[in-house]
A and B are shown apart, each in its own frame.
Chain A
């Protein structure tokens, strides 16, 4: 479920902020976002609420992980995303 869209905060007014979704702007609530957000931060908007501050480096990192995966370095990619192939039950964290 859930149509989540990344946007960038351009203005903050208390529990409300304006976020830019590429070429349109819309008001979003920021009272349940996971971390404090500032102008310039990226957030994941769902139904008018920011539900996640997307760390700047994560987008690039995700791409790098996908690429290392595609270059055949599966273990590295797996480790990055929390799965650990050597353990019986591969559950990891960051």
Chain B
């Protein structure tokens, strides 16, 4: 608002355009490389980077993510589960569904009860077993009281895919179908209503879970052309990114997007769109048209995919935009800006 020195604000961390601009300016421009062995570089701003190994020995996928969440323990999960699932899922989004190893780097505020950290570690152990993702190295730092809010966890993940077998964000072609693997908005709506004390009673909980096994089942069933996990910024952001990176338009049928009754209801009461808030256990996949039914069936047969649905398709006009058919008329589905706040007026 004024001529003061530019500072990082929470808005930069809330996903979508502002954060991307910042990353491009601060990181991509500096770390750019034209290494011929790198299939997916930093500049792709994908879920991870992909590098060819010598002698045709596959490609290695690397991804990293730092996790902070308030509260640390929430309905349906906790920061430990989030930290493991988040990185496992980022690997899976590149096609690496069998993680080789994860790291765990912990930053803790002085004064945090050991018991709290232990509960988080135990949750990480359980989730890493569930995902088949061994945690093999790590680091711990302690900061002064007030220098960090309780604890933050960074996890880095490494996985292997066949050379050329990775799935980029940018792979959509006109005609591809889009599949969403389950109900959207669960994590975001649940956390918001819990954090702000909106005292909802009902079946609201985070969907945080590793989805690598589900993704493996989908990849076995047909040609996956593009894949994203709709975390911050929700399904709306993921669809827009896939449209713009893939150079296609997307036509989405709003009524086919699965939303749980509780999330839809709480969203109505709070004035928040379930499509605009985070998911932590869902995937949106682009699938070659001829394989769409087979892939959908494979996903629905997986315990995590019972609610999966085909929600739309890629088209060759409206490039970079997402058209939402609301059942009444059409509108653009745009990326939400910043943190979603409940509205009442």
Contact = CB atoms under 8 A, between A and B. Distances in A.
A32 interface: no
Interface of B: 198-204, 260-262, 264-266, 268-269, 271, 343-345
A27 B200 CA distance: 8
Contacts of A27: 199
B211 to A, nearest CB: 24
A48 B258 CA distance: 27
Contacts of B201: 18, 24-26
A22 B200 contact: no
A66 interface: no
Among B200, B266, B268, B269, the most chain A Cβ lie within 10 Å of the Cβ of B269
Interface residues of A, number: 15
A46 B262 contact: no
A25 B200 CA distance: 6
A5 B268 contact: yes
Given A2-B344, A24-B203, A47-B344, 15 more contacts: A3-B345, A18-B201, A21-B265, A21-B269, A22-B261, A22-B265, A23-B202, A23-B261, A24-B262, A24-B269, A25-B202, A26-B269, A27-B199, A45-B269, A46-B344
A70 interface: no
21 contacts: A1-B345, A3-B269, A3-B344, A5-B269, A18-B201, A21-B268, A21-B269, A22-B264, A23-B262, A23-B265, A24-B200, A24-B203, A24-B204, A24-B262, A24-B266, A24-B269, A25-B200, A25-B201, A26-B200, A46-B344, A47-B345
Nearest to A26: B200
Contacts of A22: 261, 264-265, 268
Interface of A: 1-3, 5, 18, 21-27, 45-47
B200 to A, nearest CB: 5
Contacts of A46: 344
A16 to B, nearest CB: 11
Among B199, B262, B264, B265, the most chain A Cβ lie within 10 Å of the Cβ of B265
A62 B200 CA distance: 30
B343 A24 contact: no
Contacts of B271: 3
A72 B148 CA distance: 67
A53 to B, nearest CB: 18
B266 A3 contact: no
Contacts of A25: 200-202
Nearest to B343: A3
A7 to B, nearest CB: 8
A2 B345 contact: yes
Contacts of B344: 2-3, 46-47
B293 to A, nearest CB: 30
Contacts of B265: 21-24
A86 to B, nearest CB: 33
A22 to B, nearest CB: 4
A22 B264 CA distance: 9
B175 to A, nearest CB: 36
Complex A-B, nearest 7 residue pairs according to Cβ-Cβ distance, in ascending order: A24-B202, A23-B261, A25-B201, A22-B265, A23-B262, A47-B344, A23-B265
A71 to B, nearest CB: 21
Nearest to A18: B201
B196 to A, nearest CB: 12
A15 to B, nearest CB: 16
A35 to B, nearest CB: 22
Contact of B199 (A2, A3, A26): A26
A49 to B, nearest CB: 10
A19 B203 CA distance: 15
Contacts of A2: 344-345
A47 to B, nearest CB: 4
A23 B259 CA distance: 12
Contacts of B200: 24-26
